[in-house]
Amino acid sequence: MMKLTFLGSGCWQGIPAPFGDDEISTKVEGDKSWLINDLSKCNELGFKEVDIVDIAAVSRDVWQSRLEKADVIMVGGGNTSYLIDQIRKSGLDNILPALLTTRVYVGVSAGSMVVAPNLREKEMQRLYEEPIIDDATNEGLGFVDFLVVPHMNSQYFPRAGELVNEVARGITTPLYAIDDQTAV
């Protein structure tokens, strides 16, 4: 059975600690202070060790052995389309279910979105104004049967609150719109 925790981006209640943690980095342009804040929270929670793994930059044998040492696999935010594309290209999608039988998955922002059955890229692109990778799949990992829309009422994504109801009307999959202090 998989152990999943979803985060908007600022909510850290309920994260198991002290454990070792691997943060899978994702493509994001500009200021990355949010990533530093997320990693600082791991330290504040007493995680014994934090390792950043870029599955797009190192070989599978390198990232897989590092993930196998972790108790928590935290998949960070960034471009959702890029993240799912790299998860599939790297082969992480094939081994993640087995890893999660003994580890906790923490999805932060885009990391919480990729575990859904689909990414609803066109709708989500309107909310987050991020580019879609042309050859990326619209299919999520399917670990859960609902969609997560993080960052409601966030100053960084001002249109999310305005457009989420419109997006929700056009889909049949259950949708959880959460702010940065909420976990599902």
Examine the pLDDT at 131 and tell me if it is beyond 80.
Answer: no
3-10+20-177: CATH class? alpha beta
Rounded to 5 degrees, what angle do the CA atoms 170, 78, 157 make? 55
Q: Tokens at residue 173, please?
A: 């999959």
pLDDT band at 122 (very low <50, low <70, confident <90, very high): low
Examine the pLDDT at 23 and tell me if it is beyond 80.
Answer: no
pLDDT of residue 89: 92
What proportion of the chain, given as a percentage, has pLDDT over 90? Answer: 21
Global pTM reads 0.80
Domain ranges of the chain: 3-10+20-177
List, in sequence order, every beta strand (DSSP E) within 25-137.
Answer: 49-53, 72-75, 104-108
Report which of residues 69 and 19 the model is more confident about: 69
Give the torsion sign (CA, 44, 45, 51, 57).
negative
pLDDT of residue 24: 53
Tens-digit pLDDT profile for residues 65-105: 999 999 889 898 888 888 898 999 999 999 999 999 999 89
